[in-house]
A and B are shown apart, each in its own frame.
Chain A
Amino acid sequence: MLSEQNLKKLDELKKYYQTSQALVLPALWMVQEEHGFISEDAMKYVSQLLSVPFGHILGVVTFYTMFHPKAIGKHHIEVCTNVSCMLRGSGRLVEHLEKRLGIKMGETSKDKKWTLSETECMGSCGTAPMVAVGEEYYENLTPEQVDDILAKLERK
């Protein structure tokens, strides 16, 4: 389930923490980076790997919004709609993205290419409105610029 390289990295991390349970978040991040989401099998795997009960792993995965227990689209587009972004027009971005992609907030397109989500404050209040795609932040956006981003992602 995890690459040799990541297993080695986890092993190195051990000395910095008092319990193997502390490696749950790092291990889940690795699983998600390698597989795109964290399946039930993956949770069982992490449970065995770290000797932590499966129920605990499930509890962690479902607690944190960035962990995906189900597969999501190839490009995960998140729009911050919290106050600072809202005051600077995130509503227009939401409208535009829903129209362009033909899906609503919280949905994944049929071809599994796009997932669109509303997100809480991303710390881009000074460069609002924004969308995040994976690890990348796009800030100070207009609907036209959103089109450029979509076109760029389309080619990927």
Chain B
Amino acid sequence: MEKYILPDIRDLHRIDVYEAHGGYSALRKALQMKPEEVTDEVKKSGLRGRGGACFPTGLKWTFMPKSRGAGSQTTGQSKMTKYLCVNGDESEPGTFKDRQIFEFNPHLMIEGTLIAAYAMGVSISYIYVRGEYAKWIKMIEKALHDAYAKGYVGQKILGSDFSTEVLVHKGAGAYICGEESALMNSIEGGRGYPRLRPPFPAQFGLWGCPTTINNVETISNVPLIIKNGWEWYSRIGAAKHPGPILVGVSGHVNKPGVYEMPTGVPLLEIIHKYAGGVPGNKAIKAVIPGGSSTMILRGEQLEGVCMDAESLKAAGSSVGTAGLIVMDEDTDLIKVLTRIAQFYYHESCGQCTPCREGTVWLWKVLKRFENGEGRMEDIDLLMDVANNIEGNTICALGDAAAWPVQSMIRRFRDEFEKRVQVPQPKRAEAVAV
């Protein structure tokens, strides 16, 4: 299939190359349309968020208040100022796709941001990028600088009445800031604590103003839709979850990396055709389809499962961020799960008791298994703790911590039982947390 988000064009990160390949023509086209028409186009295209929740993007945009008033000017203090946050906090283990956009096609993201800003009457957009991506932040800033210089961003864009600002906001190392309401608190200069909803960001977002948060990859799909029309877009890939998708394949494969493909490609085809198969032709023991928080699947159940929201839901998992982690037959799944549990323990913000206390207990009990000291009753204990986190927290991090444990026990109970019956030698390796 032709590639749209990461096409094989040399130096596409340069604005002149981007323009030579039709770059910023979608913005021109959008500025000729009414803002509602732009939103409508995105809504009809069927684009769903690529940040994990698969929420329909156009629908999300319609939640923003329609009044344009002060929203079209950088008046700063007005209550009607509207904001857009482009979420580039990408930190979910197994996810490394947005980084490719920053490096190889930053103008596509900037163009998408501008079109979204026009559609919603946004005055300022913040591209929130994780602090670890310092090198990529410089690339985005360079691209943004060039876009400003060419008049694509700023006052009276391309001779229209529309003015909007875009700037990069650097995070400082916190997975939770990828959660939309924590991200807003981080931009406001606070700890990354998620907020209780309702009120939703479109009613009460940054500084209490209407705000929309979209993932980097989601926003990068917008220019394609505007340029080629919603009908064209909706015909790519899976009907209920259309469009191109960036799939990051990691773990036990010969060619790990980010691959662009239409949604709906079978997982086995991704592993064998795109990522070159498993080293040594080993069997696949397990796959995490969409980043560490999505439910783990057994190798035997992969037949017919595709990389789209509906197919993965039917298989008992989710598409998440399309970060596919492949594990071969020799993988120590208890060790994998312990490491995942350690991650959520480290990244829990500490606001909600079930998550703050539950994640540490999941990790401690799993560590016991890893060290060969697990007890049979610990399997149910783990399940009990996970069930008491799930659904009982302000944000989805609690669920994200619970799902890997629940699914691992449900699908690989034998691994836990084996670990009780045949204790592994104690590992000396200490894990600093």
Contacts and interface: CB of A to CB of B under 8 A. Distances in A.
Given A84-B93, A104-B432, A120-B346, A126 B132 contact: no
Interface residues on B, range: 35 or more
A25 B340 contact: no
Contacts of A94: 429
A124 interface: yes
B93 A125 contact: yes
A65 B286 CA distance: 31
Nearest to A117: B432
Given A29-B170, A121-B343, A126 B133 contact: no
B171 to A, nearest CB: 8
A61 B187 CA distance: 14
Interface stretch (B21-29, B94-102, B222-230, B307-315): B94-102
Given A60-B189, A60-B190, A124-B96, A87 B327 contact: yes
Contacts of B187: 17, 22
Nearest to B187: A22
Contacts of B292: 82-83, 121
Given A64-B172, A82-B343, A88 B188 contact: no
Contact of A126 (B206, B249, B429, B432): B249
Contacts of A72: none
Contact of A123 (B96, B186, B256): B96
A56 B190 contact: yes
A79 to B, nearest CB: 11
Contact of A18 (B99, B207, B335, B430): B207
B169 interface: yes
Interface in A42-56: 52, 56
B237 interface: no
Interface residues of A, number: 50
A97 to B, nearest CB: 13
Interface string A60-75: 1001111100000000
B432 A123 contact: no
A130 to B, nearest CB: 10
B252 A126 contact: no
Contacts of B118: none
Contact of B92 (A22, A67, A121): A121
A87 B251 contact: yes
Contacts of A120: 91, 93, 175, 343, 346-347
A68 B332 CA distance: 34
Contacts of B258: 126
